[in-house]
């Protein structure tokens, strides 16, 4: 829990992300050696930071960096030696710290490829090991290790400044940060591949990062919109699968199993986003859609006309074929499957949907409702062939078989 803030503070001090991570790990190892006998300190973060700083000083004194860094840190160390403990307490235990925000923007820097941003964010800010990240995304551990190593080298080679961007650049870069957190959450909520329908640990990690951002950037509506979206969606995790791990679709879920605590938190975050004013953004609109589901005590009480309207706003904002697909689902519930099928057929040639398994899945559902069972079966089988998630494939094949009866 403390590692991200320790790494952030050390990065400011030594100017080297990889060295800062190594020093933070050394401090954590020292804690494992010391705390079992001495007890956990009242301010564990301050203890870790003080230990890591001492190791950083030793490293700088031993290495060739001494001359370069002496003027930068030497005077500060001499002048503040007597007050260092109080200063550390204030810095490391302050939940809103500039160092941590700088680290967020470094991990999600646009100079990095998207998969590298995700891996580095989970490593530095989430504290996940390389093996944990690899298991979450179903890729070999060496691949994740290489992504993280390349990301650090890229940041060093590009001389990325350790600073929080300002003005228009802040908004532009913040959008990239939110996208990384959103990708992490989505992979947990609907796993793209493998034998599990969901990976709750990724959802929880994304929510934790979202809460950190909401504290660090409290006046940005889209930060609260994303947090609202994730908390409301995550409230359904327990109901999305049977005890055997089989998927349960939204309309079939037992809403008594939805987490009311997360829903309340999510609705409060959405209210906060709306109170900040301005036109609703990508995440705020999606959170508003999720809120419509969360407020309905039963599936039958869902305000589908409002959801269709919100998807219309989202489609105008994004010009996304995937959003149009989701809008068609809402229209089918609000106005019937025939109109929705016409919308779906208009999307057939969209390049973004050619290999997207949910296009034939939704089309199959609409055809089934219209009594066109043979066509529905073909669409479900096509969707099953496109998905890489084993649980989802089994569900689609089961739906295809059901059209025979």
Residue 92: band (very low, low, confident or very high) from pLDDT cuts 50, 70, 90: very low
- Asked whether residue 54 is domain-assigned, the answer is yes
Question: Quick one: what percent of the chain has pLDDT higher than 90?
Answer: 51
Whole-structure pTM value = 0.78
Is the pLDDT at 69 greater than 50? The verdict is yes
Kindly report the average pLDDT of the chain as a whole number.
Answer: 87
Pairwise CA distance, residues 257 & 262, whole Å: 12
> What CA dihedral angle connects 4, 7, 8 and 14, to 10 degrees?
180
Query: Confidence band (pLDDT; 50, 70, 90) for 395?
Result: very high
User: How sure is the predictor about 253, in pLDDT bands with cuts at 50, 70 and 90?
Assistant: very high
- Residue 1's pLDDT is 63
Is 29 inside any structural domain? yes
pLDDT tens-digit readout, 176-188: 899 889 988 988 8
Q: Minimum mean pLDDT among 103-117, 214-228, 327-341: which range?
A: 103-117
3-state secondary structure of 195: coil
State the pLDDT at residue 93. 40
The answer to whether residue 68 sits within a structural domain is: yes
Q: Considering the domain boundaries, does residue 14 fall inside one?
A: yes
- Whether pLDDT at 86 is above 80: no
> Does residue 48 lie in a domain region?
yes
Number of domains in the chain: 1
Range of the domain at 79: 3-94
pLDDT of residue 129: 82
Can you say whether the dihedral through the CA atoms of 229, 234, 235, 239 is positive or negative? positive
Average pLDDT, integer, range 379-404? 93
Average pLDDT over residues 327-351: 94
What local confidence, expressed as pLDDT, does residue 212 receive? 85
Distance CA 252, CA 277 (A): 36
Tell me what pLDDT residue 358 has: 94
61 part of a folded domain: yes
Whether 47 shows a pLDDT value over 80: the answer reads yes
The answer to whether position 24 is within a domain reads yes
Q: Which residue has the higher pLDDT, 44 or 325?
A: 325
Q: Which range has the worst mean pLDDT, 58-67, 92-101, 305-314?
A: 92-101
- Has residue 30 got a pLDDT over 70? yes
pLDDT of amino acid 62: 73
Of 45-49, 305-309, 357-361, which range is least confident? 45-49
Residue 15, in any domain of the structure: yes
Closest CA to 126 of 246, 4, 29, 37: 4
Q: Could you give the residue ranges of the DSSP H alpha helices within 276-303?
A: 282-295
Cα–Cα distance, 300 to 303 (Å, whole number): 9
Angle, alpha carbons 200-114-172 (nearest 5°): 105
Mean pLDDT of 62-71: 58
Quickly state the pLDDT bin for 263 (edges 50, 70, 90).
Answer: very high
pLDDT at 383 over 50: yes
What is the pLDDT confidence band of residue 241, given thresholds at 50, 70 and 90?
very high
Q: What are the strands, taking DSSP E only, across 249-299?
A: none
What average pLDDT does range 304-315 have in this prediction?
96
């Amino acid at each position: 829990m403390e590692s991200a803030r320790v790494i952030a503070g050390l990065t400011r001090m030594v100017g080297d992300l990889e060295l800062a991570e190594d020093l933070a790990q050394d401090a954590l190892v020292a804690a494992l050696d010391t705390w079992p006998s001495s007890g956990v300190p009242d301010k564990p973060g301050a203890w870790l930071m003080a230990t890591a700083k001492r190791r950083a000083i030793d490293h700088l004194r031993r290495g060739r960096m001494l001359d370069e860094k002496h003027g930068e840190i030497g005077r500060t160390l001499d002048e503040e030696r007597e007050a260092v403990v109080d200063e550390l307490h204030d810095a490391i235990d302050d939940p809103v710290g500039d160092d941590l925000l700088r680290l967020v923007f470094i991990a999600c820097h646009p100079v990095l490829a998207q998969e590298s941003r995700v891996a580095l964010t989970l490593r530095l800010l989430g504290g996940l090991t390389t093996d944990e990240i690899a298991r979450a995304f179903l890729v070999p551990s060496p691949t994740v290790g290489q992504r993280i190593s390349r990301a650090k080298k890229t940041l060093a080679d590009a001389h990325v400044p350790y600073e929080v961007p300002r003005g228009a650049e802040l908004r532009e870069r913040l959008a990239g940060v939110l996208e990384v957190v959103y990708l992490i959450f989505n992979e947990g909520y609907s796993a793209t591949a493998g034998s599990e329908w969901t990976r709750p640990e990724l959802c929880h990690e994304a929510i934790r990062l979202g809460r950190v951002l909401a504290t660090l950037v409290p006046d940005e509506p889209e930060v609260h919109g994303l947090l609202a979206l994730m908390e409301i969606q995550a409230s359904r995790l327990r109901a999305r699968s049977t005890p055997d791990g089989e998927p349960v679709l939204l309309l079939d879920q037992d809403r008594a199993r939805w987490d009311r605590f997360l829903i309340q938190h999510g609705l409060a975050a959405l209210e906060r986003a709306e109170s900040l004013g301005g036109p609703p953004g990508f995440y705020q609109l999606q959170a508003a859609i999720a809120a419509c589901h969360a407020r309905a005590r039963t599936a039958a009480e869902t305000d589908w006309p409002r959801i269709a309207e919100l998807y219309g706003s989202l489609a105008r904002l994004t010009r996304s074929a995937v959003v149009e697909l989701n809008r068609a689902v809402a229209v089918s519930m609000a106005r019937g499957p025939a109109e929705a099928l016409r919308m779906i057929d208009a999307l057939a040639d969209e390049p973004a949907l050619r290999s997207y398994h949910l296009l034939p899945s939704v089309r199959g559902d609409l055809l089934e409702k219209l009594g066109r069972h043979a066509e529905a079966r073909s669409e479900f089988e096509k969707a099953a062939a496109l998905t890489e998630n084993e649980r989802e494939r089994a569900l689609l094949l089961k739906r295809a078989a059901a059209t025979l009866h």
